[in-house]
């Protein structure tokens, strides 16, 4: 037992900082998602249906308004600032934190000014809106701290905070909801869970202020505002691109079809946990390599990342019947035909993100905005045309087509900018065609179990033969 522990410890130490950071974040995010999945059935049983619906409404509005009220700078300009102002990172972080807070207060003022018209629109208790704006004030400090830690590959503290906060949030929420009367269980759940995040945010708000010594530089405001403003439509369009299909299925088909589609889309959610964890470590790394003009290293790592997600896409497609069987009862079985398209959609998300990272490094945010907004509009049009004709399965393929077009758009942009040599575009194209072809073929053989199992066996043999290369790739 001790020998195995020592062996795994040595393998862990041999991994690159990027690999360690990615794997630690994958573990932390899966732990967080696992707790969320476990707690879901608990809350549905201890809360009235109407109360549980308020939580869903709060989460939806929070995701959208956070982008507007804070400029979502942790996902955009922050990495650029870490490169451009590496000798003044503390002051930069504090300055954009103050800018985020200013935007939040402006949005709060607008909400109060037009309260009579906006309150019926959001359809939530006033107390939850107060909690939401407190969240917007303090959580950016936490997000910037996480961004800084990821940029410097200090994964231990991030992992500990994610594990601790998610566990504390769930436990306190369950206890408080059980003690609350039925008419206020939703408010209790939201206030308890968000209070944990707000308290963590307050801590990092204070530490950020202290480390910067309150040095606010308006030049950083101009830098951040100019960079991130074009990205606001991009973030909102991405939200539309990932959510509009379910809304349109409900309107154009029925809510039962939406439920089946949503269960199948859970597969994409699981894959996105992997991608978000990898991207969180890969983004700072690629900025550093671009600064050093180390293009060969970027190309090699890009190939490895896409190869990993291609394999993950194919695995999810092959095991779709078993995955749906675990996630839902037999009545949801038709959702297996959605899995191939949504899984391939995540692969193309990884493709376009690699190119988009170069655009963000080059500060070409307007190009990013135009690409995403155009594709989001196209997705709405395609859904409107094809969902009534082919049902909810069409939504997965329209979204897949849009993600593929987004990848092609960003590739063309990078080529025009003179950085088409950074990635091996021919290999990416071949891999993209292979993934698309396999997902279409496999989706057509779900009725032939023997053929599918033969393909799984062949893939398993290949993975065993290539196991050393796979382990080496993961370490890097």
Secondary structure string (H, E, C) spanning the chain: CHHHHHHHHHHHHHCCHHHHHHHHHHHHHHHHHHHHHHHHHHHHHHCCHHHHHHHHHHHHHHHHHHHHHHCCHHHCHHHHHHHHCCCCHHHHHHHHHHHHHHHHHHHHHHHHHCHHHHHHHHCCCHHHHHHHHHHHHHHHHHHHHHHHHHHCCCHHHHHHHHHHHHHHHHHHHHHHHHHCCHHHHHHHHHHHHHHHHHHHHHHHHHHHHHHHCCCCCHHHHHHHHHHHCCHHHHHHHHHHHHHHHHHHHHHHCCHHHHHHHHHHHHHHHHHHHHHHHHHHHHHHHHHHHHHHCCHHHHHHHHHHHHHHHHHHHHHHHHCHHHHHHHHCCHHHHHHHHCHHHHHHHHHHHHHHHHHHHHHHHCCCHHHHHHHHHHHHHHHHHHHHHHHHHHCCHHHHHHHHHHHHHHHHHHHHHHHHCCCCCCCCHHHHHHHHHHHHHHHHHHHCCCCCHHHHHHHHHHHHHHHHHCHHHHHHHHHC
The CA radius of gyration of the chain, in Å to the nearest whole number, is 23
Tell me what pLDDT residue 412 has.
94
CA angle, residues 163, 69, 202, in degrees to nearest 5? 40
Asked whether residue 7 is domain-assigned, the answer is: no
- pLDDT digits (tens), the chain, 476 positions: 555 555 556 666 666 676 677 777 777 777 777 777 677 667 767 777 667 677 777 887 888 899 999 999 998 889 899 989 988 999 999 999 999 999 999 999 999 999 889 888 887 888 899 999 999 999 999 999 998 888 877 878 888 898 899 899 989 988 998 888 877 888 898 899 999 999 999 999 999 999 998 889 999 999 999 999 999 999 999 888 877 787 788 788 877 788 788 878 877 878 887 888 788 778 888 888 998 889 998 998 888 889 889 988 998 898 888 888 887 778 788 888 988 999 999 999 999 999 999 999 999 999 999 999 999 999 999 999 999 999 888 999 999 999 999 999 999 999 999 999 999 999 999 999 999 998 888 888 888 888 888 888 888 787 787 667 666 665 55
Structural domains counted in the chain: 2
Residues 219 and 347 in one domain: no
Residues 162 and 253 in one domain: no
At 283, list the tokens.
Answer: 């983004």
Distance CA 56, CA 422 (A): 42
Asked whether residue 177 is domain-assigned, the answer is: yes
Domain end among 174, 202, 229: 229
Tell me what pLDDT residue 142 has.
95
Query: Which position has the token pair 């476990």?
Result: 38
Asked whether residue 6 is domain-assigned, the answer is: no
Residues 222 and 74 in one domain: yes
Exposure letters 293-318 (e unless 16+ CB within 10 A, then b)? eeeeebbebbbebbebbbbbbbbbbb
Residues 98 and 244 in one domain: no
Tell me what pLDDT residue 458 has.
83
Residues 118 and 175 in one domain: yes
Alpha carbon 410 to its chain centroid, in Å, reads 19
Domain range for 63 is 12-229
Residues 234 and 223 in one domain: no
Residues 255 and 182 in one domain: no
Tell me what pLDDT residue 344 has.
93
Residues 186 and 305 in one domain: no
Asked whether residue 387 is domain-assigned, the answer is: yes
Asked whether residue 5 is domain-assigned, the answer is: no
Residues 331 and 345 in one domain: yes
Asked whether residue 471 is domain-assigned, the answer is: yes
Tell me what pLDDT residue 10 has.
63
At 359, list the tokens.
Answer: 């655009």
At 108, list the tokens.
Answer: 């709060």
At 397, list the tokens.
Answer: 């393929």
Query: Could you give the dihedral angle defined by the CA atoms of residues 262, 263, 268 and 274, in that order, rounded to the nearest 10 degrees?
Result: 130
Asked whether residue 183 is domain-assigned, the answer is: yes
CA angle, residues 23, 28, 32, in degrees to nearest 5? 145
Domain end among 229, 256, 278: 229
Residues 405 and 290 in one domain: yes
Residues 126 and 251 in one domain: no
Domain end among 229, 255, 289: 229
Asked whether residue 127 is domain-assigned, the answer is: yes
Distance CA 351, CA 341 (A): 15
Residues 311 and 357 in one domain: yes
Q: What is the pLDDT of residues 377-399, one digit of tens each?
A: 999 999 999 999 998 889 999 99
């Amino acid at each position: 037992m001790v020998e195995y522990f020592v062996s795994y410890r040595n393998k862990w130490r041999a991994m690159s900082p990027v690999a360690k950071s990615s794997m630690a974040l994958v573990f932390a995010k899966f732990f967080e998602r696992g707790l969320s999945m476990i707690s879901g059935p608990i809350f549905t049983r201890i809360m009235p249906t109407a109360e549980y619906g308020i939580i869903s409404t709060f989460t939806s509005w929070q995701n959208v308004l956070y982008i507007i009220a804070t400029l979502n700078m942790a996902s955009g300009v922050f990495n650029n600032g870490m490169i451009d102002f590496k000798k003044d990172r503390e002051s930069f972080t504090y300055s954009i934190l103050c800018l985020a807070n200013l935007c939040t207060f402006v949005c709060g003022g607008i909400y109060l000014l037009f309260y009579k018209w906006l309150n019926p629109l959001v359809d939530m208790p006033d107390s939850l809106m107060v909690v939401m704006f407190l969240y917007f004030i303090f959580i950016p400090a936490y997000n910037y701290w996480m961004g800084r830690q990821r940029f410097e590959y200090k994964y231990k503290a991030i992992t500990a905070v994610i594990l601790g906060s998610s566990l504390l949030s769930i436990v306190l929420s369950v206890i408080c909801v059980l003690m609350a009367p039925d008419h206020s269980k939703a408010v209790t759940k939201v206030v308890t869970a968000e209070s944990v995040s707000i308290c963590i945010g307050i801590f990092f708000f204070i530490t950020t202020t202290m480390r910067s010594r309150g040095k606010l530089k308006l030049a950083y405001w101009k830098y951040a505002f100019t960079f991130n403003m074009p990205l606001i439509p991009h973030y909102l369009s991405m939200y539309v691109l990932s959510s509009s299909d379910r809304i349109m299925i409900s309107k154009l088909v029925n809510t039962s079809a939406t439920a089946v589609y949503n269960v199948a889309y859970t597969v994409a959610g699981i894959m996105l946990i992997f991608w978000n964890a990898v991207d969180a470590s890969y983004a700072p790394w690629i900025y550093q390599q671009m600064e050093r003009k180390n293009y060969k290293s970027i190309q090699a790592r890009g190939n490895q990342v896409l190869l990993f997600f291609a394999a993950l896409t194919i695995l999810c497609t092959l095991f779709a019947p078993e995955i749906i069987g675990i996630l839902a009862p037999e009545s949801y079985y038709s959702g297996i035909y959605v899995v191939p398209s949504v899984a391939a959609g995540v692969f193309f998300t990884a493709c376009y993100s690699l190119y988009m990272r170069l655009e963000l490094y080059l500060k070409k945010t307007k190009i990013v905005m135009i690409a995403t907004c155009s594709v989001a509009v196209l997705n709405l049009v395609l859904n409107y045309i094809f969902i009534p004709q082919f049902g909810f399965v069409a939504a997965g393929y329209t979204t897949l087509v849009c993600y593929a077009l987004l990848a092609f758009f960003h590739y063309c942009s990078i080529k025009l900018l003179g950085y088409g040599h950074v990635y091996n575009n021919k290999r990416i194209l071949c891999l993209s065609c292979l993934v698309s072809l396999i997902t279409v073929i496999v989706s057509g053989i779900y009725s032939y179990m023997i053929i599918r199992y033969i393909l799984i066996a062949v893939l398993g043999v290949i993975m065993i033969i290539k196991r050393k290369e796979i382990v080496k790739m993961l370490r890097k």
